[in-house]
């Protein structure tokens, strides 16, 4: 392999070097994740069950555990080229600040208006919606990253989009709403009077601030009751994991050019889509016995699905309107404390990642948020990127691993995913700087309470 003589700060692949296919991790998994279950029939979900909700092509991708590489449509590649290939950055300044022999790299996915990796899947989903001739899409958004990304993608492909945004988020983050509207989306504070579930919620409690669960339910209801509309989701699903493989594939090509193979790959994990995307080609090497590398998922101590959750069937939403998935979960009723600043608040985890974790192919650690913001602030100062709090979970563990290298004197190669920027998270930074940020770890009793809501699913396989 021809390698570069000097490693630049930022390596951008050329358009020609960009991957033309997504990689489907399931094709190399000897043991497959358990299938989703239709809660009505308690039988494995069939494609036909999903067609009323999702685009056909996306349903096919969701169910496809066989095709190893799937062509990225030309139109999707064209839009990717506006912000991709994303840079692989050698964190020279962070290394210097830590005085570590480790070589630290990060793949930066925040160089687009939506500010995060979510755009990678949003583009694919909007494209397939257009290809199918749909008249519109619906989705929900909490903090707003996914809604922003999908708004961008829908503006590009000319698909009308309705975003149900949790009411309390609309009030706390009016600028997130403004960006989505700039892209032409219709943003509705949830609960709203536009759906049965929303009206019922408002009837119960007119002053409610809403919840992600309710917003999902409204978006699904709206999609399935409006002619020629479908619903889209930004994480957890197999299709999203597939689209996000672009992150890892680019990373691997760039690292190969540098003659580097990571000893440790680190990513933050909420629903798991960014982590699954980043690690995809390295997990492939592990699954196929080609190379061994440590793969580490980082989650908040306040929402520890991998490290303290159960591997069990659960609903994907709080409203229990979705199929059930076998995954690491805290129970769909689990809500992290309000003092938890960042994202990564989801109660469950991608079924693909859950299976890989369960089978010992990866590790997981949980970190407390003040430690996360400490790392984020250091990183911002030396690398001049203000990280999203979510991304900063990965920074925290990368820093910890680099500091271990300092102790041991071993020059390990560490790579982590920097999923996005923190421009809309300044209130959390302010709270950290002012010393007002505290940590929160759920008690065992908290978890027992939410575990008790797990659905009973008969052994079906």
Q: Return residues touching its own copies (CB under 8 A).
A: 6, 8-10, 12, 14-15, 79, 81-83, 93, 111-115, 119, 152, 155-156, 174-175, 178-179, 181-184, 377, 380-386, 421, 423-424, 426-427, 429-430, 433
Cα separation, 397 vs 62, in Å, equals 31
Find the shortest distance in angstroms from Cβ 127 to its own copies: 14
Residue nearer to its own copies on the CB measure, 33 or 144: 144
How far apart are CB 213 and its own copies at their closest, in Å? Answer: 27
First-last CA distance in the chain: 45
CA distance 77 to 100: 38
Pull the structure tokens for residue 77: 């590649």
In angstroms, give the least distance from the CB of 10 to its own copies: 7
The radius of gyration of the chain from alpha carbons, rounded to an integer in Å, stands at: 21
Nearer to its own copies, 234 or 309 (CB): 234
User: What CA–CA distance (Å, rounded) separates 326 from 348?
Assistant: 9
Nearest to 221 by CA among 181, 193, 187, 202: 193
Question: Is the CB of 382 or the CB of 457 nearer to its own copies?
Answer: 382
Least distance from C-beta 339 to its own copies, angstroms? 18
Find tokens 């829908």 and name the residue. Answer: 154
Closest of 24, 76, 38, 37 to residue 281, by C-alpha: 24
Cα(185)–Cα(405) distance, integer angstroms: 47
CA angle, 256 as apex, 251 and 259 as ends, to 5°? 130
* Neighbouring C-alpha atoms within 13 Å toward the C-beta of 313: 20
Angle, helices 351-358/273-287, rounded to nearest 10 degrees: 40
Is the CB of 168 or the CB of 380 nearer to its own copies? 380
Of 20 and 381, CB closest to its own copies: 381
Q: Whole-angstrom Cα distance, residue 60 to residue 49?
A: 12
CB of 351 to its own copies, least distance (A): 30
Measured from the CB of residue 81, what is the shortest distance to its own copies in angstroms? 4
**136-141: strand order across its sheet:** 186-190, 161-166, 136-141, 229-231
| Cβ 428 to its own copies shortest distance, Å | 9
Token pair, residue 281, equals 């080609």
Host H or E run for residue 242: helix 238-257
- 154 burial via Cβ count (<10 Å: 0-12, 13-18, 19+): buried
Backbone angles phi, psi at 70, to 5 degrees: -120, 125
> Residue 178, CB half-sphere, CA atoms under 13 Å: how many?
6
Q: How far is the CB of 295 from its own copies (least distance, A)?
A: 27
Nearer to its own copies, 112 or 125 (CB): 112
Find the shortest distance in angstroms from Cβ 382 to its own copies.
Answer: 7
């Amino acid at each position: 392999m021809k390698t570069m003589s000097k490693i630049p700060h930022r390596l951008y692949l050329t358009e020609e070097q960009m991957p033309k296919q997504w990689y489907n991790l399931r094709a190399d998994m000897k043991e497959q994740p358990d299938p989703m279950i239709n809660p009505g029939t308690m039988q494995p979900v069939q494609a036909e069950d999903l067609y009323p909700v999702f685009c056909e092509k996306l349903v096919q991708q969701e169910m496809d555990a066989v095709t190893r590489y799937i062509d990225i449509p030309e139109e999707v590649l064209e839009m990717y080229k506006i912000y991709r290939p994303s840079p692989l950055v050698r964190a020279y300044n962070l290394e210097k600040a830590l005085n570590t022999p480790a070589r630290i790299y990060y793949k930066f996915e925040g160089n687009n208006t939506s500010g995060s990796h979510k755009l990678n899947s949003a583009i694919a989903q909007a494209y397939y919606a257009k290809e199918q001739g749909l008249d519109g899409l619906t989705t929900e958004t909490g903090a707003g990253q996914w809604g922003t990304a999908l708004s961008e993608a829908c503006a590009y492909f000319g698909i009308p989009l309705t975003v149900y945004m949790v009411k309390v988020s609309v009030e706390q983050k009016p600028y997130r709403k403004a960006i989505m509207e700039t892209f032409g989306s219709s943003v509705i504070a949830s609960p709203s009077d536009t759906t049965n579930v929303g009206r019922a919620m408002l009837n119960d409690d007119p002053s409610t601030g809403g919840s992600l669960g309710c917003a999902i339910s409204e978006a699904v209801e709206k999609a399935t009751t409006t002619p020629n509309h479908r619903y889209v989701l930004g994480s957890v699903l197999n299709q999203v994991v597939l689209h996000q493989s672009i992150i890892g594939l680019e990373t691997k090509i760039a690292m190969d050019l540098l003659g580097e193979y990571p000893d440790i790959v680190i990513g933050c994990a909420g629903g798991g889509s960014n982590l699954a995307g980043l690690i995809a080609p390295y997990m492939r090497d592990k699954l196929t016995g080609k190379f061994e590398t440590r793969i580490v998922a980082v989650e908040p101590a306040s929402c520890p699905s991998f490290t303290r959750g159960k591997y069990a069937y659960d609903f994907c939403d709080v409203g229990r309107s979705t199929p059930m998935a076998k995954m690491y979960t805290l129970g769909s009723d689990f809500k992290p404390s309000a003092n938890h600043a960042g994202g990564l608040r989801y109660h469950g985890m991608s079924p693909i990642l859950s299976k890989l974790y369960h089978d010992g192919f990866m590790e997981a650690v949980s970190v407390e948020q003040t430690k996360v913001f400490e790392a984020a602030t250091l990183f911002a100062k030396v690398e001049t990127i203000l990280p999203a709090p979510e991304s900063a979970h990965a920074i925290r563990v990368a820093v910890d691993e680099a500091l271990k290298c300092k102790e041991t004197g071993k020059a390990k190669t560490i790579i982590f995913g920097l999923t996005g920027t923190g421009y809309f998270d300044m209130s959390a930074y302010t709270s950290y700087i002012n010393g007002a940020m505290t940590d929160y770890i759920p008690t065992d009793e908290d978890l027992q309470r939410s575990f008790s809501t797990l659905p009973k699913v008969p052994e079906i396989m």
